Chain A
Amino acid sequence: MMKRFTQTCAVLTVTLTLAHAAAATEQVTFMLDWLPAGDKAAVYLGVDKGLFEAEGIKVTIQSGRGSSDVVTKLATGSADMGTGGLAALLQAKAADAVPVKAVMSIYTLQPDAIFTTKDAGINSLKDLEGKTVATATFSSSNVSWPLLLKTNGVNPDAIKLLKVDPGALAPMLATGKVAATINWLTVAPAFAGPLTEVGKSFKALPWSGYGFDGYGLSVFASEKMLTSRPETVRKFLKAYAKATEMAIADPMAAAQALKAAVPEVSVDTAAEQWRASIPLMVNDISKKDGPGAFAPALLATTWKWVAEAQGLPLEKLNPETAVSRDYLK
């Protein structure tokens, strides 16, 4: 009798403890804008080092298929938070009032760039005239591309733009089928393999050097998440910012954390990808405004590029409605 009583008490205690632990841990589904890679390593480092856990958050990482996909998944409730290019959110907000907001900026410089090879003789945007450039079919860069050219006095019709699968970009550049490709700077290390195989050297022309200013990658959250669990968003951003700091200080640790979660990645490539993304996060702008901030002027510039590229009037959207600065406090 006594034995059964003791067993019942033990079972009850364990159940209550587990229930308490479950209640104390908040679940957050975090969606990356693309497949796992070195430039996304910070969130993996945060999970690996228990930074989110210390805030009482259990993070489930999912991979999206582009910034627009993340906005859609957040709007439909498939994920709680995620990363994506701010331009994609502004575009979605202008078209339809999607219930998603940007809560923290990650890249204060635009990551878009022209990738070419040293033997192609391309030293500026002007040199692309008469050449063929390949881009990923659904890349957000395609929206701003004609405007970037016009702004720099280049005739967009003089450049043949070829839209292909992202997986075909490096092979096309390596075989010389195209003179250049449009990519994010963070992808550069992955181009090394195909280019080395054919004995070519890599060269990048960042768009930020041609006046393409604005916020790039940012952290998004669904409005449902912001209203129902504001404290969780705050704690998440705190842990994410700390993880980013740690990853910047030790890229190899970040790459290893990514490797622990996604065994297919190469640690060296992942570390290089993370290193390639650091200048987009740590630069004069982020030093001036503070990490994660959305400064009104640069936010307006980001929207101006999107609006002009889309042929929309500036009044179509107040970009301030697409961001919230309340959760970084």
Chain B
Amino acid sequence: MKTGAWATLVRWLDRCAPPLAFVGLLLVWEGGVRIFAVPSFLLPAPSAIVTALLATPLPVWAGHVWATLRVALMGYALAIVVAVPLAVGLATSRFLSRTLYPILVVVQSTPIVAVAPIIVVTLGASDLPRVVITFLITFFPIVVSTVTGLLATPEELIELSRSLRAGRRREILHVRLPFALPHLFSALKISTTLAVIGAVVAEFVAAEKGLGFFIAFSTSYFKIPTAFAGLVVLVSISLILFRLIGFVQKAFAPWSLPKSER
């Protein structure tokens, strides 16, 4: 009986550990700020952030969230559309791999934050530069992971498909791509957060709306709790997008998940 109660407690703690740790952290933060009387412009207390969050009208939040989400999703979609076929090309053609891979590494090694102002000047003040910046930050992990997945297909499977006279196209579509799905989905998850970061970076450079603009704007008025509230909303969006990709994977390609997560 005693053992049963103990086991239940351990199970309960195991289930509740993440939210409890989070609540604990918030309490330490709130307590620390209050005890040491830290000014709100240095580190606002969680309660001050919540107050700032609620003080900003819902339509204002909706406008900024929509502006950031729109750019993040467009850049993300563009990254997938470009990265997946590109990865197939890189994985299947030595010529393409030798020619394009170094260029991609150069693009990835370029600090996008530094070139973002130039992109905005070149492409004008519209959604386009923001989408391009998001795309540039997002697409490389998708390319690399997909190529890794495509190349990790076991040789026996390739030989089997060839012995069954499957063409090149069938080999990619029915053997290599399904095998690359776990890699692709993990890259897609990472890229959702990168897409949000990309959109915010772009908004810091030039925007009239969006959470990046909102944070820059609040900071320029030294309203740090409001800027933190913007950060909270941004993190929430990233988490929601991250979970959404998880749901999509579970719903449409459950075989690509580890057995414990199906």
Residues of A within 8 A of B (CB): 29, 34-37, 61-65, 69, 72-73, 76-79, 165-167, 170-171, 174-175, 190-191, 193-194, 197-198, 263-266, 269
Measured between alpha carbons, how far is A34 from B220 in the docked complex, in Å? 10
Q: Which of B60, B125, B206, B226 contacts A263 (CB 8 A)?
A: B60
Instruction: Let me know if B125 and A73 touch, CB within 8 A.
Output: yes
Question: Once the chains are docked, how many angstroms separate the CA of A209 from the CA of B117?
Answer: 36
Is B159 among interface residues, defined by CB-CB distance under 8 A? no
Contact flags B56-97 to A (C-beta < 8 A → 1, else 0): 110110000000000000000000000000000000000000
Instruction: For residue A53, give the distance in angstroms from its CB to the closest CB of chain B.
Output: 20
Contact check, A264 vs B217: say whether CB atoms are below 8 A apart. yes
B222 contacts A by Cβ under 8 Å:
yes
Q: Write 21 A-B pairs (CB below 8 A) sorted by A numbering.
A: A29-B125, A35-B213, A36-B217, A61-B208, A63-B207, A64-B206, A73-B121, A77-B124, A166-B220, A167-B219, A171-B39, A171-B224, A174-B39, A190-B221, A193-B221, A197-B40, A197-B41, A198-B39, A263-B57, A264-B60, A269-B221
Known pairs A35-B216, A61-B208, A263-B60; list 6 more (Cβ under 8 Å). A65-B205, A72-B121, A78-B124, A193-B41, A197-B41, A264-B217
Contact A167:B121 (CB < 8 A) given known A194-B39, A197-B41: no
For B59, the chain A residues whose CB sits under 8 A away are 263
Q: Is B153 part of the contact surface with A, judged by Cβ < 8 Å?
A: no
In the bound complex, residues from chain A placing their C-beta under 8 Å from that of B121 are 72-73, 76, 78
Asked if A193 and B206 make an inter-chain contact with CB atoms under 8 angstroms apart, the answer reads no
Chain B positions within 8 Å of A, measured between CB atoms, are: 39-42, 56-57, 59-60, 117, 120-122, 124-125, 205-208, 213-214, 216-224, 226-227
State the 4 A-B residue pairs at the shortest beta-carbon distance, nearest first: A167-B219, A194-B41, A170-B222, A171-B41
Look across to chain A and name the residue whose beta carbon is closest to the beta carbon of B205: A65
A residues less than 8 Å from B222 (CB atoms): 167, 170-171, 190-191, 193-194
A35: which of B42, B120, B125, B217 is its contact (CB, 8 Å)?
A: B217
Once the chains are docked, how many angstroms separate the CA of A64 from the CA of B205? 8
- Cα separation A263 to B40 with both chains bound (whole Å): 22
A233 to B166 alpha-carbon distance, docked (Å)? 68
Q: Which listed residue (B60, B205, B208) contacts A62, Cβ 8 A?
A: B208
* Candidates A64, A165, A171; contact of B42 at CB < 8 Å: A171
Q: When the two chains form the complex, which single residue of A37, A73, A78, A264 contacts B56, counting CB atoms closer than 8 Å?
A: A264
Known: A167-B219, A171-B222, A264-B218. A65 touches B41 (CB 8 A): no
| B123: nearest chain-A partner, CB-CB | A78
CA A63 to CA B205, docked complex, whole Å: 10
A37 contact from B206, B220, B224, Cβ within 8 A: B220
Complex-state Cα separation, A135 to B238, whole angstroms: 34
Q: With A35-B216, A193-B41 given, is the CB distance from A79 to B125 under 8 Å?
A: yes
Q: A170–B57 contact, CB under 8 A?
A: no
Question: With A and B bound together, what is the CA distance between A224 and B220 in angstroms?
Answer: 32
CA distance A240 to B125 in the complex (A): 23
- Chain B neighbourhood of A78, CB < 8 A: 120-121, 124-125
In whole angstroms, what is the CA distance A36 to B214 when docked? 11
Chain B residue contacts of A166, Cβ below 8 A: 219-220
Q: Which residues of A contact B226 (CB under 8 A)?
A: 264
Q: How far is the CA of A36 from the CA of B57 in the complex (A)?
A: 18
Considering the complex, give the chain A residue whose CB is closest to the CB of B63. A263
A231 to B77, CA, bound (A): 44
Name the residue among B57, B59, B121, B220 with the largest chain A CB count within 10 angstroms.
B220
Contacts of B120 in A (CB 8 A): 78
Residues in A with CB closer than 8 Å to B124 are 76-78
Q: How far is the CB of B200 from chain A (nearest CB, A)?
A: 15
Would you call B217 and A175 a contact (CB within 8 A)? no
A166 to B218, CA, bound (A): 11
Residue numbers in B under 8 Å from A36 (CB-CB): 217
Given contacts A175-B39, A198-B39, contact A193 B125 (CB under 8 A): no
B78 CB to closest chain A CB (Å) equals 22
The residue of chain A having its C-beta at the shortest distance from the C-beta of B215 within the complex is: A167
Chain A proximity of B68: nearest CB distance (Å): 15
A191 to B214, CA, bound (A): 19
Q: Judging by beta carbons under 8 Å apart, are B42 and A175 in contact?
A: yes
CB contacts (< 8 Å) of A69 on chain B: these are 117
Complex interface: chain B residues within 8 A of A191 (CB): 222
On chain A, the residues within 8 Å of B122 by CB distance are 76
CA distance A61 to B125 in the complex (A): 11
